[in-house]
Structure 1
Amino acid sequence: MPAGKELQLIDALGRNPVVEYAEPDYVVAAASEDTFFGRQYALQNDGQDIVNNHDTATSTKPAPIKIDGGTPDADVDAVEAWAITSGTGVRVAVLDSGVDLDHEDISSKVILRANFSGSNNNDDKYGHGTHVAGIVAATANNNKGVAGVCPGCTILAGKVLSDNGIGTSSGLANGINWAASNGAKVINMSLAVRASRTLEAAVNNAWNKGVVLVAAAGNGGGQTKMYPGAYPNVIAVGATDNSDAKASFSTFGASWVDIAAPGVAVFSTFPNHESALAGTGKKRSLNYDIGDGTSMASPIVAATVALTWSANPGASNSVVRAKVESSTDPAGDIGDWAHGRVNAYNAVTSP
């Protein structure tokens, strides 16, 4: 079969009355050979405990954290989705604080960089953008670190947040326009700002060019609308924990929060140099660790969008968005979000 046409053939065969069923002949492989894959419950939840990288003997590493095991299969079924596609070649723009210039697990995935933050360079001195990018596309099965939800994806690193994690609506709008003009199929924005006509115009421009935009719903714990997530042409993402409950900090509200994804203790990449999130004067000597927030949930959804597009290369952005939103698993309470917790396998196999 030509690559990307398998699901069309399965659908056609399934409608033939003389065919009992049709399905892919799946590749059987280890889940992942990456060092910390076992801590990535968001990708494969076996009910494992979650621990961070820490060393109580020094002050240069985060304090020890342990979260008890959650509910098995409260995950996005990433491993199952990889049997269909790894997202090879799909461009995902990460509009954030930049991506570490020399990280072993994510820097090579960055194919284009631009700076809209006012900072002096494109490196990630804050730490947030590297963590988000790793969630999207960290290299899988390289015996290092972690695996991204879309390990075949490439990254456009648009630095819209300064080295202190602050940006402007105009800088974000410029980043959106840049990403849409440079082939991004998906734009992830793990950030929030007040409503802005300039920003909304950039969002609508990107959507009209065929891009799917994804953004964090916010960490206020209430229902206050946050932008760009609240714009109709953006998928707003809330956060769940390792038992599929709504994260206590997650903004919610089915009137505008579209979907959810794991956002508690999500293990991913961090810069291998000093960064603001590691604390003043400290160096994160282990460049992988957990992060909390809808900032972590949003790139899981963005990566799932990319996988879905890879499996449906001729689909429009509205069709891809509909597949992702209509194929979720129940999570949280009724009214927390319009749909459920994202499921990558269901999305890529959605008819």
Structure 2
Amino acid sequence: MKKLVLAGFAALLMVIGTLLGAVAPGNAAADPSITAGQILVKFRDNTAAAGILRAFGLTDGPGVGSTGAHLITVPDGKELQLVDALGRNPMVEYAEPDFVVTPASDDTYFSRQYALQNTGQSFTNTAGTVTVAAGKDDADVDAVEAWTVTTGTGIKVAVLDSGVATDNPDINPKVVARTNFTTSRSNDDNYGHGTHVAGIVAATANNGIGVAGVCPGCTILAGKILSDTGAGSSSGLANGINWAVNNGAKVINMSLAVGTSTTLETAVNNAWNAGVVLVAAAGNGSNTTMMYPAAYPNVIAVGATDNNDKKASFSTYGAWVDVAAPGVSVYSTFPNHRFTLAREYNRSQGYDIGSGTSMASPIVAAVAALARSANPGATNADIRAKVESTTDPVGVIGSDWAHGRVNACKVVVAQGC
């Protein structure tokens, strides 16, 4: 009976607060299922929003993607009261908490993917022979938060690399076109590098196996530029870029490096002029030497960080490097057959870790793809600016790289990341 009386009294306070345009102070323990200090409100008429919110001492906030909802900042502890009060207004279509997102992925190795969601976890490689020490909480690209807005469905990302394995069920179904610009006999991946890179971009999420890509709704154009021994040519890369453009790529990832070439730069510029975002690895020289195609003006050059948001020891760096992304012990797909990198680096078939700016670059490419999905009318220049301007201030800005470490959430929503 006492609980009923107290509940009735609390309800009465809420009604009084609603009538007066105010809410009684909230002193209850924080609800871990909702984001503190913000709620989501969709108005039937946005011109009335300011007046409705003013009655509660609130101000309008940014829109959330294309949903029509607005993200409203509210006093901590008053989230549910304000949701209830605003929801009673006939000019409000709905009001709801901004729920906390936790990993919904049932992918086997998702907990090892600190680049997507870093909780400070430690983990091992597949064979258990390498232990990755505990990292720093939130030293990640906020991919899980970005997925509440878009997973990149409909966006093609070209992975110009060593091909993509046809026998890994986590990434093979995402490949919509393949081609081979090498002397290797098939366009399958017998080197391993391309499969790992492609999985970082778009491995299928929530399918009960393996890993999830940063852009799990994206599809892959698999251009084989590196042979089964890991060698390629600038002409092959230039052809691959042209092929990617002709097959509808919105983003091109190049986790490779060659000498500077007028032909290659022309192919890069043609792709840029066709509206494509181009991304490339800055290199693993632990120096400031410019690498190509990353150093071309129309390519986003990517350096690498670790799971503590520190510059990777091997990463090429300098003001010419545009952004950074996790590139140390990144978990992703590998071929389910014998491949060269397995022998060279003792990596397991199917899934394992890989390190290098080669692993950081596809994360940035996938973030750019999410940005394209969330902003369908934006130009490639707009997307590049968005990716670079929404980075987190990691590393020594202006010395390690021009901007910071990319943040997928910030490229698709205005705030709350």
- TM-score over 0.5 for the pair: yes
Q: CA RMSD in A?
A: 2.2
Tell whether 2:287 aligns with 1:207: no
Letter in 1 for 2:111: G
Tell whether 2:179 aligns with 1:114: yes
Percent identity, aligned pairs only, is: 67
Q: Distance in 1 between matches of 2:388 and 2:49?
A: 28
Q: Distance in 2 between matches of 1:308 and 1:323?
A: 8
- Shift, 1:217, TM fit: 0.1
Secondary structure (helix, strand or coil) at the match of 2:50 reads coil
- Shift, 1:183, TM fit: 0.2
Letter in 2 for 1:17: A
- Shift, 1:286, TM fit: 4.0
Q: Distance in 2 between matches of 1:286 and 1:274?
A: 7
Secondary structure (helix, strand or coil) at the match of 1:323 reads helix
- Shift, 1:117, TM fit: 1.3
Higher relative contact order (CA closer than 8 Å, sequence separation 6+): 1
Alignment CA distance shift 1:39-1:206 (3 Å): same
Tell whether 2:111 aligns with 1:38: yes
- C-alpha contact (below 8 Å) 1:216/1:294 kept by paired residues: yes
Q: Distance in 2 between matches of 1:294 and 1:14?
A: 47
- Shift, 1:102, TM fit: 2.0
TM-score (norm 1): 0.90
**Counterpart pick for 2:262 among 197, 204, 211:** 197
- Shift, 1:89, TM fit: 1.1
Extract unaligned runs of 5+ from structure 2.
Answer: 1-39, 54-58, 62-69, 72-94
Tell whether 2:202 aligns with 1:137: yes
Q: Superposed, which structure 2 residues align to 1:44-123 within 5 Å?
A: 44-54=117-127, 64-123=129-188
Q: Distance in 2 between matches of 1:53 and 1:134?
A: 16
**Counterpart pick for 1:231 among 296, 304, 307:** 296
- C-alpha contact (below 8 Å) 1:188/1:215 kept by paired residues: yes
- Shift, 1:88, TM fit: 0.4
TM-score (norm 2): 0.76
Q: Superposed, which structure 2 residues align to 1:133-172 within 5 Å?
A: 133-172=198-237
Extract unaligned runs of 5+ from structure 1.
Answer: 1-6, 56-63
Letter in 2 for 1:237: V
Q: Which has the larger radius of gyration?
A: 2
Alignment CA distance shift 1:53-1:287 (3 Å): same
Most deviating of 245-254 and 21-30: 21-30
Show the counterpart of 1:262: 326
Alignment CA distance shift 1:76-1:224 (3 Å): same
Letter in 1 for 2:190: K
Q: Distance in 2 between matches of 1:233 and 1:267?
A: 29
Letter in 2 for 1:305: A
- Shift, 1:50, TM fit: 2.7
Show the counterpart of 1:292: 355
Letter in 1 for 2:136: T
Q: Distance in 2 between matches of 1:118 and 1:279?
A: 21
Secondary structure (helix, strand or coil) at the match of 1:267 reads strand
